[in-house]
């Protein structure tokens, strides 16, 4: 949590005016259902108590002036000269502005300050949080009347066009739409959703951050997405009604994709089975059967690692290591992969001991610090 007063003071120092609005938009976790969103499948995310904060004010001219506290960096561009830039971080903001401009919405020049406590590169969707905070803030600042769901889509398109990642809708949707103490069962085919109470009794969610982010992450992500689309195209030649892996069964993959491309077959089968695991996990959560939920998480990790091949040694090690403890019901890598965090379902009374045990072993093996992050399922984007 970053104090409102601290943000106001920094904004005033930087831009010599008061912020008109301050918005917080949270990072997210996902209980299960990875790489399913862009395949019209299901996901089970929720927002966390760590957020990106954006403060804004209007300007008289048509300039956009940005300042990011994390990088101690500023950036300036004219509203009519926006394009993707080398620096990285401005793209998440500029990509959103570009969406608004393309929709011919009445956006003028503005100052924007960013701060936050979502760890960057940890797979907690700090970029989606920044996109959603920006969209929400500009929506209020220029009275654009955009609905929440639309803000999520704008964030996703910003990611596609300015960050170059063909992501699904999960991260932005979770940042904008989440409800405290609930997870969202989101059907990415039609964006229908249900809030499910996240009742974990004497268990807690613990994230373990590998503190690695492999550089191939975004290209591999786009490659996986392309494999899935090719698999769908092959099935569609025989079943014209099929539009996504959501409409595909393992039998169809066995018959049509396996003979053509074994690797593509395995990738597509993972997605179909990940949806099945999510449904089993969701039913278990509703029934209070946390053992089964945990087992599905372990199975999901095996699939992500061995079949979809988006894990890495550090993530695999963390998941394997916790299996020896009966107090840990489930664990898996979370998010796009190739680094970031594992999500663990751990007996609350065992959390500290687990951190104590696993941290030095991890350090010894990888010469990296492990960061434990406790998260609380929280509300989506809001004005401060």
Residue numbers 323-342 binding ligand GLA by CB under 6 A: 335-336
Question: Which pair of structure tokens corresponds to residue 308?
Answer: 């979809």
**Does residue 34 bind ligand GLA (CB under 6 A)?**
yes
Which string of x and - marks every residue 125-144 that binds ligand GLA (by CB under 6 A)? x-------------------
Instruction: Point out which span in 77-85, 162-170, 265-273, 284-292 binds ligand GLA (CB under 6 A).
Output: 162-170
Q: Residue 203: name the closest of 35, 328, 304, 48 by CA.
A: 328
In the complex, what is the shortest distance from the CB of residue 2 to ligand GLA, in angstroms, rounded to a whole number?
Answer: 23
In the complex, what is the shortest distance from the CB of residue 9 to ligand GLA, in angstroms, rounded to a whole number?
Answer: 33
In this structure, are residues 207 and 344 in contact, taking their beta carbons and an 8 Å threshold? yes
C-beta of 119 vs 168, nearer to ligand GLA: 168
C-beta of 56 vs 188, nearer to ligand GLA: 188
Backbone torsion region of residue 337, taken as left when φ is above 0, otherwise alpha when ψ lies between -120 and 50, otherwise beta: left
Residue numbers 80-99 binding ligand GLA by CB under 6 A: none
In the complex, what is the shortest distance from the CB of residue 310 to ligand GLA, in angstroms, rounded to a whole number?
Answer: 8
In terms of C-beta density within 10 A (0-12 exposed, 13-18 middle, 19 or more buried), how is residue 240 classed?
A: exposed
CB atoms within 10 A of CB 199: 12
**Does residue 294 bind ligand GLA (CB under 6 A)?**
no
**Does residue 40 bind ligand GLA (CB under 6 A)?**
no
Residue numbers 188-217 binding ligand GLA by CB under 6 A: none
Q: Under rule CB under 6 A, how many of the chain's residues touch ligand GLA?
A: 11
In terms of C-beta density within 10 A (0-12 exposed, 13-18 middle, 19 or more buried), how is residue 190 classed?
A: exposed
**Does residue 35 bind ligand GLA (CB under 6 A)?**
yes
CB atoms within 10 A of CB 45: 27
In the complex, what is the shortest distance from the CB of residue 33 to ligand GLA, in angstroms, rounded to a whole number?
Answer: 7
Instruction: Point out which span in 32-40, 51-59, 263-271, 294-302 binds ligand GLA (CB under 6 A).
Output: 32-40
Q: 3-state class of 87 per DSSP?
A: coil
In the complex, what is the shortest distance from the CB of residue 172 to ligand GLA, in angstroms, rounded to a whole number?
Answer: 8
**Does residue 298 bind ligand GLA (CB under 6 A)?**
no
| Catalytic positions | 171
Q: Which of 31, 47, 130, 170 binds ligand GLA (CB under 6 A)?
A: 170
Instruction: Point out which span in 57-65, 89-97, 164-172, 347-355 binds ligand GLA (CB under 6 A).
Output: 164-172
Beta strand pairing call for 371-374 and 203-213:
antiparallel
C-beta of 191 vs 361, nearer to ligand GLA: 191
Q: Which of 26, 90, 168, 377 binds ligand GLA (CB under 6 A)?
A: 168
Q: Which of 19, 37, 54, 345 binds ligand GLA (CB under 6 A)?
A: 37
In the complex, what is the shortest distance from the CB of residue 34 to ligand GLA, in angstroms, rounded to a whole number?
Answer: 4
First to last CA, the chain: 11
Q: 3-state class of 324 per DSSP?
A: coil
**Does residue 163 bind ligand GLA (CB under 6 A)?**
no
Spatial separation of the C-alpha atoms in residues 120 and 28, rounded to whole Å: 12
Q: Which strands sit side by side in the sheet containing 339-347, from one edge to the other?
A: 328-333, 339-347, 203-213, 371-374
Number of H-type helices and E-type strands within the chain: 11, 13
How far is the CA of 356 from the CAs of 206, 332, 350, in angstroms? 13, 19, 10
Spatial separation of the C-alpha atoms in residues 222 and 28, rounded to whole Å: 21
Instruction: Point out which residues bind ligand GLA (CB under 6 A).
Output: 34-35, 37-38, 125, 167-168, 170-171, 335-336
């Amino acid at each position: 949590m970053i104090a409102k007063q601290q943000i106001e003071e920094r904004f005033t120092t930087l831009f010599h005016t008061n912020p008109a609005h301050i918005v917080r938009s949270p990072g997210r976790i996902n209980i299960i259902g990875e790489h399913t969103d862009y395949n019209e499948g299901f996901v089970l995310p929720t927002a966390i108590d760590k957020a990106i904060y954006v403060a804004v004010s209007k300007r008289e001219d048509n300039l956009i002036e940005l300042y990011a506290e994390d990088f101690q960096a500023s950036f300036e561009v004219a509203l009519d000269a926006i394009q993707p830039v080398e620096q990285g971080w401005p793209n998440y903001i500029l990509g959103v502005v570009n969406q608004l401009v393309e929709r011919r919405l009445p956006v003028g020049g503005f100052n924007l300050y960013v701060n936050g406590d979502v760890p960057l590169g940890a797979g907690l969707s700090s970029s989606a949080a920044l996109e959603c905070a920006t969209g929400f803030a500009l929506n209020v600042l220029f009275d654009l009347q955009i609905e929440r769901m639309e803000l999520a889509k704008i964030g996703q398109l910003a990611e596609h066009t300015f960050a170059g990642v063909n992501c699904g809708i999960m991260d932005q949707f979770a940042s904008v739409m989440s409800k405290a103490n609930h997870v969202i069962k989101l059907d990415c085919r039609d964006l229908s959703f249900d809030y499910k109470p996240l009742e974990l009794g004497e268990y807690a969610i613990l994230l373990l951050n590998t503190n690695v982010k492999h550089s191939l992450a975004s290209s591999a992500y786009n490659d996986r997405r392309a494999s899935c689309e090719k698999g769908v195209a092959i099935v569609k030649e025989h079943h014209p009604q099929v539009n996504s892996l959501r409409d595909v069964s393992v039998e169809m993959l066995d018959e049509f994709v396996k003979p053509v491309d074994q690797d593509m077959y395995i990738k597509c089968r993972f997605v179909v089975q990940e949806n099945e695991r999510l449904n089993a996990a969701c039913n278990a959560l509703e029934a209070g059967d946390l053992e089964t939920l945990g087992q599905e998480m372990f199975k999901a990790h095996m699939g992500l690692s061995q079949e979809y091949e988006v894990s890495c040694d550090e993530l695999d090690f963390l998941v394997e290591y916790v299996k020896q403890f009966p107090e840990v019901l489930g664990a898996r890598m979370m998010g796009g992969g190739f680094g970031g965090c594992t999500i663990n379902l751990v007996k609350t009374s065992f959390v500290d001991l687990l951190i104590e045990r696993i941290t030095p072993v991890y350090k010894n093996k990888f010469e990296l610090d492990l960061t434990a992050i406790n998260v609380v399922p929280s509300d989506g984007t809001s004005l401060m």
